[in-house]
Chain A
């Protein structure tokens, strides 16, 4: 049996402001989507995306909930457009 770590938060460089935003986003997504969320990581995507959210299934409902959580968080911190998400299914990541 594989002993999976239940949660791992790892920094591979100096901490940046966006990291705190991502941690807050993770909290919201775990609350709203529970086990549909596989992982959340900061990225430097080819299209400008800065967060990859890996989900079990990128359904209409899941994407809608993720986008809503992002908007809520951006409004809370007063920074619209700071999170540029890439939502990808587990088998594609």
Chain B
């Protein structure tokens, strides 16, 4: 899948996550917030010409390494990504059920991650475009 398709997918999934949260579907919201982030992480790796791993853990690990090279806020962002993923895994694959507090916390973290990653990806795309034209 292309970078732009992942960006679009992330946007659509974020809208769905917000709708789920608004409708008190807390478990679905957490899954959708993670999926939106996951699509952006794949877009980020494609933007730096790296192949995104299939498995989510490996994906976070590679993003962590690459982000650290270019982003002074990498530690904070990767810590937030890890938190969202850990909670999502417990909600989606284990017996834990989400409560409103957890869902709102994940929504807050996800917005920070998504806004930050969008800025990074936009900068990377502009850089590539400018290199093509000069």
Q: Which residues of A are interface residues toward B (Cβ below 8 A)?
A: 45-50, 58, 60, 63-64, 66-68, 70-71, 74-75, 80-82, 84-89, 91-92
Taking Cβ atoms with an 8 Å cutoff, the residues of B that contact A are 53, 55-65, 68, 74-75, 78-79, 82-83, 86-87, 89-90, 94-96, 101-102, 105
* A residues less than 8 Å from B65 (CB atoms): 80-81
One of A60, A66, A68, A92 near B95 (C-beta < 8 A): A92
Point out the residues of chain B lying under 8 angstroms from A80, CB to CB: 64-65, 68, 74, 78
Q: Is the CB of B90 within 8 A of A70?
A: no
Tell me which of B57, B83, B105 contacts A84 (CB under 8 A): B57
**Which residue from B56, B62, B68 sits with its C-beta under 8 Å from A47?**
B56
Give 16 A-B contacts (CB < 8 Å), ordered by A residue: A46-B55, A47-B57, A47-B89, A48-B56, A48-B57, A60-B105, A64-B83, A68-B79, A80-B64, A80-B68, A80-B74, A80-B78, A81-B64, A85-B82, A91-B95, A92-B95
Is there an interface contact between A89 and B96, defined as CB atoms closer than 8 Å? Answer: yes
Q: Which A residues are CB-close (under 8 A) to B63?
A: 81
Which chain B residues lie closer than 8 Å to A71 at the CB level? 75, 78-79
Complex alpha-carbon distance, A12 and B75, angstroms: 33
Main secondary structure, interface of B, reads helix
Residue of A48, A58, A70 most packed against chain B (CB within 10 A):
A48
Q: Is the CB of B83 within 8 A of A67?
A: yes
Which residues on the B side are within 8 Å of A58 (C-beta)? 86-87, 90, 96
Known: A48-B53, A60-B87. 8 other contacts (CB 8 A): A48-B57, A48-B59, A49-B57, A63-B87, A71-B79, A80-B68, A81-B61, A88-B94
Residue contact B75 to A75, C-beta cutoff 8 Å: yes
Q: Inside 8 A of A63's CB, which chain B residues have their CB?
A: 83, 86-87
Determine how close the nearest CB of chain B comes to the CB of A52; give it in whole angstroms.
11
